[in-house]
Amino acid sequence: MILVTGATGTVGRELVGRLLALGVPIRAATRRPDSAGLPDGVQVVRADLGGPDGLVDVMHGIDRVFLLSNGPEIPIHDANLAEAAAKAGVDHIVKLSSGRTGDDTATDPIPTWHRAGEQAVRDSGVAWTMVRPLGFMSNALHWADSIRDHDTVYAPFGQGRIAVVDPHDVAAVAATVLTTDGHAGETYTLSGPEPLSPGEQADILAEVLGRPVRYVEVAPDTARQAIVDHGVPDELASAIMALRATALEAFTSVVHPTVEKITGTMPRSFRVWAERHRHQFAEVRAG
């Protein structure tokens, strides 16, 4: 049986769907089982990675774990899970990390948190695989309100390009790693098929939505406030902006062949992602 942590999140829901389709028994961890809205056939359990008590019980009968943690607590949450997994006799941990963890020059918070989390997993003695995606295509949902309201994407670092990846492909790689052999001790950096600037993403959204969408470059602080207004905690919002700034460097624009190598399928384009999420940008016009 596979334990999926972060099962109610962007990647976790895709992964649960994928594993269900493969017919694999799944236990899904969430802090709020009653409102998790997970599909039938999934065993839903309450678990908080911040409270190590009970994590060993949650892993009873589990062979492999998908580890998803988020924000400043990543190092401690990963250590809690890895320690419990070792105690419970889990065979393999697949950790969702971050692409820039592999950039030795990166000293901003998100790769720093993930580096510590990865180390805790390696130190646990349980077999591991690190999955390190570059930026998610779904981050474009932060633009949904301004696109709906006035057909505009406000984003900083207009010259920066990121080879954004569809969370669907991140989940596809994780599902393959969790259900096949030969991935222990491997670190996989994932990207989508092409590097895109925010302006280029706005152009694709315009084509998919069939109406003009303009791009306006804003100061990082303005963009930071917008994601705080979206419910992202302050410290994490600052960390996300520090990470976005690195789009101006070459590292995030590199296309990696990993998704196709692992899954046998080409990574999805931003256009395909946008078509699948078109309804979330749908126009709301008074009168």
Residues that bind ligand NAP (CB under 6 A): 5-12, 30-32, 36, 47-50, 68-70, 96, 98-99, 110, 133, 135-136, 139
Q: How far apart are CA 185 and CA 126, in angstroms?
A: 10
Shortest approach of ligand NAP to residue 101 CB, angstroms? 9
**Cα torsion angle, 143, 134, 257, 170, sign:** negative
Per the document, the length of the chain is 287
Cα(140)–Cα(28) distance, rounded to whole angstroms? 26
CB of 285 to ligand NAP, least distance (A): 30
Q: Closest separation between CB of residue 212 and ligand NAP, Å? A: 26
Looking at the Cβ atoms of 116 and 151, the one nearer to ligand NAP is 116
Q: Which of 112, 37, 125, 127 is nearest to 71 (CA)?
A: 112
- Closest-CB residue for ligand NAP? 9
Residue 110 CB, shortest distance to ligand NAP, in Å, is 6
**Separation of alpha carbons 45 and 193, rounded Å:** 36
Kindly tell me which of 214 and 248 has the beta carbon lying closer to ligand NAP.
248
Is 47 or 155 the residue whose CB approaches ligand NAP more closely? 47
Q: How far apart are the first and last CA of the chain?
A: 53
Nearer to ligand NAP (CB atom), residue 122 or residue 214: 122
Helical spans, DSSP H, in the chain: 10-21, 55-58, 74-88, 109-123, 144-150, 167-179, 198-209, 220-229, 234-245, 258-263, 270-276
C-beta closer to ligand NAP: residue 7 or 121 = 7
Q: Which is nearer to ligand NAP, 54 or 212 (CB)?
A: 54
Query: 């049986």: which residue's tokens?
Result: 1
Min CB(286)–ligand NAP separation in Å: 32
Burial bucket for residue 20 (CB in 10 Å: 0-12, 13-18, 19+): middle
Could you tell me the smallest distance in angstroms from the CB atom of residue 35 to ligand NAP?
Answer: 8
CB of 10 to ligand NAP, least distance (A): 4
CB 121 within 8 A of CB 86: no
CB nearer to ligand NAP: give 197 or 285: 197
